[in-house]
Amino acid sequence: MDPYDPYLPEPPRDWARILKQSRYRRRRPLGRWAAGVLLLVSVGAVMFQVGQAVAPARPAAAQPAAQPAVILPDTGHGAVSAATTPAPAPTTTTTPPRPRMLTLITRNIRTEADPNRVYLVPGQVTAAQAHDGKRPQFVARPGEALRVRVDNQDRYIHSFTFAKARVNLDAWEGTVSAATFRAPSTAGTYQFYCRYRKVGMSGTLVVRGSPAGDQ
């Protein structure tokens, strides 16, 4: 095509403006994308700052309790420290003391026609002494644990009745009975007896000294 052909159309007079608008439209999508990215970054930064401002303070992580350091003996290479768990304290159980035994024998030291039923104590009150009027006497500390043993060698029932400790032990004929109790906590002399034949069958418990718990 001949550029000098007189029949070619002439360019429009505002061709420069049209060319400039065409170039601006090609750049507009890139500019919009960049503006959008910048806006998102700005919004994210603002939200992060707001979250840091209103978020509660986080507690520090709990640290494990420090174990006591044990210094091992020097073996020539210097002391060595090691964290060990202390051994639990040994548990001790206190065994209560065994009750002290008190022995009584019930017997008729006369005949059935003329009976004389008494308390006897081995090594303390014999039949002859009981015939002369001697009565058993035991000594205990305040609150001491005691165990009375009644050996009934008679043909009738007898008892060991100690009202202060609320003991009422029956001993049938030809049997042995026992009961455990504690001596009164107050020092003094207390009487025990046979509730079936009180006259002539009695004795005393003398409480004195330090309490049983004080060794």
* Cα 66 versus chain centre, distance: 25
Q: Please, what sign has the CA dihedral across residues 9, 14, 15, 21? A: negative
* CA distance linking residue 59 with residue 15, whole number of Å: 70
pLDDT of residue 97: 82
Q: Which residues contact 162 (CB under 8 A, 6 or more apart)?
A: 148, 168, 181, 190, 192, 205
pLDDT band at 76 (very low <50, low <70, confident <90, very high): low
Condensed to tens digits (0 to 9), the pLDDT of residues 145-186 reads 999 999 999 999 999 999 999 999 999 999 999 999 999 999
pLDDT band at 48 (very low <50, low <70, confident <90, very high): confident
| pTM, to two decimals | 0.56
Whole-number Cα distances in Å, 168 to 150, 158, 164? 12, 10, 10
Whats the size of the chain, residue-wise? 215
C-beta separation of 121 from 103 below 8 A:
yes
Domains, the chain: 100-207 (2.60.40.420)
Type of residue at 173: E
